[in-house]
A = this chain, B = another copy of it.
């Protein structure tokens, strides 16, 4: 374990040392925010398995901080439904159920194509080029079988697009949704691999180039349907 150096974490003020791995070294960002980001990434890109327990002291020791910032970060992630507070007051990565899966799928289809269409209105040529570059890194990771790399690049692609809509409220909702199915994406790709993924992003990029809103909507919807169908087949058909 101990993914992040714990070092001698107790020393309070005046940390001017160069211990870059410890969270405390960061400037201008609070500790609980940094803890939040790291745990969030682990959840989003599959560092933590669905159903596994998360303890405050465990995380605190792992990250080399006290339990205070961990508590705030975990509380925040619970509010975003990235973590689940059980009746025991214990915390876990939520297991996937058929019902939750259906709701996530529906919410994605309701929000993401529309968000993409909104983004289209504000897209510049340079933005499309950026997205094409990200799409290429997706292809590379996909062919290399690099599951985590694929997930990260795929996330970057979707949210680079969505953020262009400048609809921050909606983007936040979609981010919350992604947090909820991230672990299953990892599980699914881990089981079946990334080679069978179709690339609907090409169609999306083509629609962007033509400024074709309904085409973009369709492409995003197809991407969601394909990706989620893949996850559903891989995860829900077997005992979790």
Contact = CB atoms under 8 A, between A and B. Distances in A.
Interface of A: 30, 32, 71-72, 75-81, 89, 99-100, 103-104, 106-107, 110-111, 114, 166-170, 172-173, 176-177, 180
Main secondary structure of the interface of A (DSSP, over half): helix
22 contacts: A30-B89, A32-B75, A71-B72, A75-B79, A76-B78, A76-B79, A79-B79, A79-B80, A81-B172, A99-B166, A99-B168, A103-B168, A103-B169, A103-B170, A104-B169, A106-B167, A106-B170, A107-B111, A107-B173, A110-B111, A173-B173, A173-B177
A106 B114 CA distance: 10
A169 B173 contact: no
A98 to B, nearest CB: 12
A106 B103 CA distance: 19
Contacts of A76: 75-76, 78-79
A115 B30 CA distance: 38
A237 to B, nearest CB: 21
A169 B81 contact: yes
Contacts of A110: 110-111, 114
A168 B111 CA distance: 16
